[in-house]
Amino acid sequence: MRLLPALGLGPSIALAAWLVFSAALVPMGMVARRFARPPRSDQLQAAGLFALGLFSSLLVLTLLRDVVLIAALLLDWTRPELSRWTAEGVPLLALALSLLGLANTRRTARVKSVDVPIANLPPGLHGFTIAQITDLHVGPTIRGSYIRRIVERVNSLEADAVAITGDIVDGPVPELGAHVAPLGELRSRHGSFFVTGNHEYYAGHAPWLAELRRLGIRVLLNEHVVIERAGTTLVLAGVPDWSAHHFEPSHRSDPAKALSGAPADAGARILLAHQPRTAPAAELAGFDLQLSGHTHGGQFFPWIFFVRLQQPFTAGLHRLGRLWVYVSRGTGYWGPPKRVAAPSEITRLRLVRG
């Protein structure tokens, strides 16, 4: 209604036809598993998700176009061709952003190195490294080949520990187990550790926890491990997802419980928590650093600006009292295969003396 009247006959027909097709493709993709089998169901779902991402950009850019036209009217900058030029520009720019976002999701996540200064860090823990991966979202568009590339890149870091902070899957074990299996090949000096995200509970958390344990990954549910290094200790704890108790009452996230019984003289206390909003409870419990994901950094424009309405931090390293909080933009993506201005990452965190 906003774009078609300003376009010529040919572009109007083409855009209208795409919108009608998209309106059918998006819901068809969401229910594809009900009437088709892999790989056809995966292809339909991927196409529907791409169409959803494209529609999102069409909607947002159409609203921005209206703002431009209103400003031009108020400032008396109106020109006969302005409406047509902007109407032509919206679908072209939306398509360009969607193709760019698609290309960004096809690339293997890059390594981002972050130094975290910890007050009174013992010399023996200076330089301790953690490789964090999160929000892999293995499903119709992220498969085993991508996970294998991630594992190879993580292993090349030769980290002291690997932290997997939730949301690794969007489906059941029988369907996706083989695609997640490469995570069992992760290598580090002290092992791989996992905490649940909200999507594990959508996909069936009990079978997935059993599968991850079978792969040799340590699951931390309000508990901790003590890592000895150079005559000092590091406590690595984990909590279930912030919303986990809605699905499994015994999985209520509790940072204080996760730290219970830990050595009082530990040189550093690190918490793995899927959602950044666990941070206030983590700070009260006495942690030095929290590693989180969940936000995807907003994933693509304009949602990168709206994450703060739900979470205290969107991406990067932040301070809350004495607690450092690092929020990864995610190693995969969710929903539309689209990342713009929020690149995926594998994070190499290094503890340094503060």
In the chain, what are the domains?
Answer: 4-106 (no CATH), 110-353 (3.60.21.10)
Helix (H, G, I), strand (E, B) or coil at 75: coil
Residue 341 is predicted with a pLDDT of 92
Say what angle helices 80-106 and 9-30 make with each other, to 10 degrees: 30
Peptide bond preceding 39 in cis form (omega within 30 of 0): yes
Q: What type of residue sits at position 69?
A: L
Q: What is the pLDDT of residues 221-253, one digit of tens each?
A: 999 999 999 899 999 999 999 999 999 999 999
| Residue 189 tokens, joined | 């000096």
CA 6 → CA 85, 325, 330, distances in Å? 9, 48, 40
Residue 282 is predicted with a pLDDT of 98
First to last CA, the chain: 58
Q: What is the pLDDT of residues 183-195, one digit of tens each?
A: 999 999 999 999 9
* pTM for this predicted structure: 0.94
- Cα-flanking dihedrals φ and ψ of residue 121, to 5°? -65, 125
Helix (H, G, I), strand (E, B) or coil at 129: strand
Rounded CA separation 353/336 (Å): 41
Residue 303 is predicted with a pLDDT of 85
Residue 188 is predicted with a pLDDT of 98
Q: Flag residues of the chain having pLDDT under 50.
A: none
Residue 238 is predicted with a pLDDT of 98
Q: What is the pLDDT of residues 2-30, one digit of tens each?
A: 999 999 899 999 999 999 999 999 999 88
Residue 57 is predicted with a pLDDT of 96
Residue 140 is predicted with a pLDDT of 87
